[in-house]
Amino acid sequence: MAAQPQQSIHLIEIPTDRFPLLVPSATIAEVVNVGELSPLPLAPPWVLGVIGWRTKAVVVVSFEALLAGAITMPGPRSRIIVFYPLPGADDGGFFGVLSTHDPQPRVIDSNSDLVPNAAGAVESDYVAATVKLREKTLLIPDMGTLKTVFYP
Amino acid sequence: MRDSNQYLRFSLAGIYYLISGGVSVAIDQRDSLEINETGTGRVCAWRSHDGTRWPAYCFDRDFKVVQRNDWERAIFLEAQPTPVGLIADQVQLLPEGEAQVTPFTPLGRPATTAGHLFSGAWVRGPQAILVFDPKVLATFLHDLGA
């Protein structure tokens, strides 16, 4: 009997100043260097600014600020992870998340030791799950909550 | 979708913005305005016109109302009962078609009761110059004096 083909999920680990994020690779359009961030006056505190990306203006957000209100500013190794619009948003709904350095690809399959974090979950409306991958604690963002906050 | 209208480019607290060139009622130099010398209140200067005074407001980078003296011009927008103004440092009417503006909707709830302050952006490489929604901006300015 032939062995069942192993299913795998391609994910991206996004380093932040708090816990890194873990998101499906397919949700990410591009990773770009932090260029000129134009301020967006009167924006929510989790908005860092706006960049030009391809022909679009893309709002860059701080996930740390969403979690705890503590804004993280870009550092020398920071990157902007440009996400595709969340389901239901229009074509202009691209957004960027600031990472502290380069994101890392992760391939998860049945042999991977991705497990719920035994120490408990990070309590936030913006976190769908807190997981452990090897020795590292990672957060899976709640895209449904993000959608209601980003596109009210 | 692109909009090739003519735009005013102006700087505000060191940041460049655009607004459609057809919406300004007047652009005045500082010398022709009545300056608020008291340093109190929200209005930075007034333009006198046919017995009315049009208020102009000055903002910092975060769009908080401030009083400062190192500015050059005021852009006045149509509003009721009188036009309202925005203090700007440099104002330039761009040649028609120079600014290629694409629609832009900020994330999150609108910053004003009238909606989002910005409705478009001129993207030049990694830089995005935001374009004010003139009606929302005029309502926002008007509400400052309410």
pLDDT at A89: 85
Residue A140 counted as domain residue: no
Strand order in the sheet with A28-33: A28-33, A79-83, A95-99, A56-61, A47-53
Chain B nearest C-alpha distance from A7 (Å): 35
| Pick from B54, B52, B10: nearest CA to B44 | B54
Evaluate if residue B2 carries a pLDDT over 50. Answer: no
CB atoms within 10 A of CB B102: 18
Evaluate if residue B1 carries a pLDDT over 50. Answer: no
Preceding amide of B103 cis, omega within 30: no
How far apart are alpha carbons B124 and B122 in whole angstroms? 6
How far apart are alpha carbons A139 and B72 in whole angstroms? 49
Give pLDDT tens digits for B84-95: 999 999 999 999
Q: Which residues contact B4 (CB under 8 A, 6 or more apart)?
A: B96, B97, B100
Percent of chain A with pLDDT over 70: 97
More confident of the two residues A70 and B13: B13
pLDDT at A98: 97
How far apart are alpha carbons A149 and A151 in whole angstroms? 6
Residue A26 is part of which domain span?
A: 10-107
With cut-offs at 50, 70 and 90, classify the pLDDT of residue A4. low
Give pLDDT tens digits for A14-43: 999 989 999 999 999 999 999 889 999 999
More confident of the two residues A110 and B97: B97
Q: How far is CA A50 from CA A72, B118, B122, in A?
A: 15, 12, 11
Q: What is the mean pLDDT of residues A68-72?
A: 81
Evaluate if residue B51 carries a pLDDT over 90. Answer: yes
CB within 8 Å of chain A, chain B residues 87-106: 102-106
* Neighboring chain A residues of B144 at a CB cutoff of 8 Å: none
Tell how far CA B35 is from the center of its chain.
Answer: 18
Number of structural domains (chain A) is 1
Q: What is the ipTM of this complex?
A: 0.90
Chain B nearest C-alpha distance from A58 (Å): 8
Average pLDDT over chain A reads 92
Looking up residue A100, the CATH number of its domain turns out to be 2.40.50.180
Q: What is the DSSP string of A92-110?
A: T--EEEEESS--EEEEEET
Please answer yes or no on whether B123 and A55 come within 8 Å at the CB atom: yes
Pairing of the two strands B52-57 and B84-88: parallel
Give pLDDT tens digits for A91-110: 789 999 999 999 999 999 88
How far apart are alpha carbons A60 and A25 in whole angstroms? 18
Q: What is the mean pLDDT of residues A112-135?
A: 89
Average pLDDT over chain B reads 92
Q: What is the DSSP string of B58-117?
A: -B-TT--B---S---EEEEE--SSS-EEEEESEEEEPPTTSS-EEE---SSS-SBTTB-S
Task: Choose among A50, A92, A150: nearest Cβ to B108.
Answer: A150
State which residue of chain A sits closest to B16, comparing Cα positions.
A38
| Pick from A58, A35, A57, A61: nearest CA to A48 | A61
Which of B16, B62, B107, B119 to mutate to test binding with chain A, by most A CBs within 10 Å of its CB? B107
Chain B nearest C-alpha distance from A107 (Å): 31
More confident of the two residues A90 and B65: B65
With cut-offs at 50, 70 and 90, classify the pLDDT of residue B126. very high
